[in-house]
Amino acid sequence: MTAAIRQYLVITGNYWAFTLTDGALRMLVVLHFHELGYSPLEIALLFIFYEFFGVVTNLVGGYLGARMGLNRTMNIGLFLQIVALGMLAVPAAMLTVPWVMAAQALSGIAKDLNKMSAKSGIKLLVPDEQQGTLYKWVAILTGSKNTLKGVGFFLGGVLLMASGFQGAVVIMAAALALVWLASLFLLGQDLGKSKAKPKFSEILSKSRAINVLSAARLFLFGARDVWFVVALPVYLYTAFGWDFWKVGGFLAIWVIGYGFIQTIAPKITGHSNGKSGAVFWAAALALIPAGIAGALMAGWPAQTVVVGGLLLFGVLFAINSSLHSYLIVSYARGDGVSLDVGFYYMSNAAGRLLGTILSGWVYQAYGLEACLWISAGLVATASLLSMMLPEKTPVTA
């Protein structure tokens, strides 16, 4: 086993462990606070700082990764998640909205430090001429992460019912602490540290390709979260009468399948993974939420339409996400890769922030159909923006 593969496995293992707790915590907060009587908009507000600080963290984190090394930023992210989980383990009386928002802010910082470090690290382990290998490695990392996020959704529902909210966060904090201690010793020193010390002004990308791709990513992830974050779990719980097991289990299966599709995206897209691929797959995705909304408004059976439509959406969204994840790593510079990747995932976080706010507000005011129409419009915008990307022909491994 080469040193590069060993480091890839350590990075992936860290990312997996973090993702399990992140997915479980998201489901814990949504279901627990809905059970306490919070409205969809109030639940969405709990995640505002999580998403907002994700924007800030990706912007600054890329700079820190280039200055300090990606091993340090990844380990800092793991530690901050442990602290965030500890903040939520307090007595129920202390779980006020400001306190939960503060813990979610810390978790958002942790998540994006971890993700930025993982995605940037892969760029440094694959030679530039092996673009096919790079696409495959990024797809595996991204897909497996989302599969485990789905497991995390299910884990969150199970832990909530088995151990209660406090017990669940304590269990996750203890498990993640063990991973953090192992990572301190196993992760390579000075991974991704830039040879030329970057200036703080360099956090904003000067690459047209990265700027365009980042804008498309913002609309793509806004389109997912506008109906997935708050609207969909609450809709499944209220409109269909599903209990926490069913909601958590179904969303877990969805994300697991979504992650699997991401891992095999290179086989689906083939060599159409540059500009033409980004335009085509986003345009195809835009048809799905529009179709679901139209079918619901026409009075078709809601359960069949929503469940079937969500499965189709998951397949196409997974392909789009995996393709985008490859393109940013491919477009990024070699020295100081985390600056470009951090800027890109800043846009990703901004899209999630936009989608999260809209998910609670639009669903509460206008219902699921409105969330779906907005989703279709946002994906269509991502497709139009992708037409401005440079065409990239990859070199196979």
Mean pLDDT within 87-102:
86
Q: How many domains does the chain have?
A: 1
Domain annotation covers residue 393: no
Residue type at position 136: K
Binned at pLDDT 50, 70 and 90, residue 393 comes out as very low
The pLDDT of residue 129 = 66
Residue keyed to tokens 């970057």:
198
- Would you say 64 and 193 are in contact if contact means Cβ atoms under 8 Å apart? no
Domain annotation covers residue 394: no
- Would you say 325 and 138 are in contact if contact means Cβ atoms under 8 Å apart? yes
* Residue 233 to residue 226: CA distance in whole angstroms: 12
Cα–Cα–Cα angle for 122, 128, 133, rounded to 5 degrees? 60
* Residue 76 to residue 72: CA distance in whole angstroms: 6
Whether the pLDDT of residue 73 is over 70: the answer is yes
Pair of tokens at residue 385 = 């923006």
**Maximum CA pair distance of the chain?**
61
pLDDT tens digits, residue range 204-229?
Answer: 556 788 889 999 999 999 999 998 87
Binned at pLDDT 50, 70 and 90, residue 326 comes out as confident
The pLDDT of residue 19 = 86
Domain annotation covers residue 367: yes
Mean pLDDT within 173-199:
74
The pLDDT of residue 395 = 40
Percent with pLDDT over 70 in the chain: 87
Domain annotation covers residue 396: no
Whether the pLDDT of residue 231 is over 80: the answer is yes
Domain that holds residue 325: 3-191+203-386
Pair of tokens at residue 312 = 């189709």
* Residue 69 to residue 52: CA distance in whole angstroms: 24
Domain annotation covers residue 391: no
Mean pLDDT within 310-328:
90
Pair of tokens at residue 144 = 């497996």
Q: What is the CATH number of the domain that holds 69?
A: 1.20.1250.20
* Residue 267 to residue 271: CA distance in whole angstroms: 9
Binned at pLDDT 50, 70 and 90, residue 4 comes out as low
Per-range mean pLDDT, top range of 4-8, 169-173, 195-199: 169-173
Pair of tokens at residue 338 = 């985390």
Mean pLDDT within 181-208:
65
The pLDDT of residue 127 = 67
Domain annotation covers residue 366: yes
Which residues lie below 8 Å from residue 38, measured CB to CB, with a gap of 6+? 46
Whether the pLDDT of residue 335 is over 80: the answer is no
Average pLDDT taken over every residue of the chain: 82
Mean pLDDT within 240-250:
79
Give 191's DSSP letter. Answer: T
Phi and psi at 198, nearest 5°, equal: -70, 150
pLDDT tens digits, residue range 254-308?
Answer: 888 888 898 888 888 876 557 888 899 999 999 999 999 999 999 999 999 999 9
Domain annotation covers residue 392: no
> In this structure, is the dihedral angle defined by the CA atoms of residues 277, 279, 284 and 286, taken in order, positive or negative?
positive
The pLDDT of residue 303 = 92
Domain annotation covers residue 197: no
- Would you say 190 and 71 are in contact if contact means Cβ atoms under 8 Å apart? yes
